[in-house]
Structure 1
Amino acid sequence: MMDRKKELKEQYKQTRSDMGIVGIRSKKEAWYYIEGTQNLRATLNGIRFKLETGFFPCRELLKKWKEQGEEHFTFEVLEQLEYDKDETKTDYTDDLALLLMEWEEKLEGQGFTVVKR
Structure 2
Amino acid sequence: MNMDRKKELKEAYKNYRPEMGIFVIRHIETGKTFLEATNNIKGKINSDVFQLNMETFMRNRDLNKDWKRLGKDAFEVVILEKLEYDEDDQGSKDYGDELEMLYGEWQRKLRSEGTELY
TM-score scaled by length of structure 1: 0.89
Alignment coverage as a number of residue pairs: 115
Structure 1 unaligned segments of length 5 or more: list them: none
For 2:88 and 2:101, the matched residues in 1 are separated by 19
The percentage of aligned residue pairs carrying the same residue is: 42
1:100 aligns with 2:103: yes
| Equivalence for 2:61 | 59
- CA RMSD, 1 decimal: 1.5
In the alignment, the residues of structure 1 paired with residue 110 and residue 20 of structure 2 have an alpha-carbon distance, to the nearest angstrom, of 19
CA distance in 2 between partners of 1:13 and 1:61 (Å): 36
Structure 2 CA distance for aligned equivalents of residues 4 and 33 of structure 1: 42
What is the rounded CA distance, in whole Å, between the counterparts of 2:6 and 2:14 in structure 1?
A: 13
Where does residue 83 of structure 1 map in the other structure?
Answer: 85
Is the 8 Å Cα contact of residues 30 and 111 (structure 1) preserved in structure 2? no
Deviation at 1:37, TM superposition (A): 0.6
Structure 1 residue identity aligned to 2:14: K
Q: Match for 1:70 among 69, 72, 83?
A: 72
Does the alignment pair 1:113 with 2:116? Answer: yes
Moved over 6 A (4+): none
Gaps of 5+ in 2: none
State the partner residue of 1:34. Answer: 35
